[in-house]
Amino acid sequence: MARMRSEERREQILSVAAEAFAQYGYHATTVDTIVTGAGVARGTFYSYFQDKRSIFEELLDGYMKGLHAQIIRIDPKLGPTRAMELMRQNFNGVLSECLEQSALTKILLSEAVGLDEGFDERLL
């Protein structure tokens, strides 16, 4: 069996963490939950991430970047018809991203907002 490359291992840990946070919630998910699901040692986890919060923040930062990438700037000079078309594209793009990233959407809606004041500021 071929060894997993460093970036693949990191992505695997992120993926398992996203599923664990979505299934169990932020507070109930532990580093042990993540490493067991990913099949890696605790030391491997800590070689990539400082702690549970840092992996949670990275997941949500990536999610928010994905959402922002779906938004097209709307110039008011375009007129109402074109502006409405772009608004529709924005809505559809954001909705598609939310559905594609359903585990992270669940985390954002149920866990991330209200985690603490500093985190709320990052999301907004």
Residue 50 CA to residue 67 CA, distance in Å, equals 25
Helix ranges (H only) for the chain are: 6-24, 31-38, 42-48, 52-69, 80-100, 102-107, 117-123
- The domains located in the chain, with CATH, are 6-123 (1.10.357.10)
Please state, as a whole number, how many other Cβ atoms lie within 10 Å of the Cβ of residue 70: 16
Tokens 């985190």 sit at which residue?
119
For each of the chain's 124 residues, which pLDDT tens digit applies? Answer: 456 698 999 999 999 999 999 899 888 999 999 999 999 999 999 999 999 999 998 998 888 888 888 888 888 888 889 989 988 998 999 899 889 988 888 887 777 666 666 666 666 6
4: alpha, beta or left? (left if phi > 0; alpha if psi -120 to 50): beta
Q: Are 48 and 110 in contact (CB under 8 A)?
A: no
pTM (2 d.p.): 0.77
Q: Is 92 exposed, middle or buried (0-12, 13-18, 19+ CB in 10 A)?
A: exposed
Q: State whether residue 40 is helix, strand or coil.
A: coil
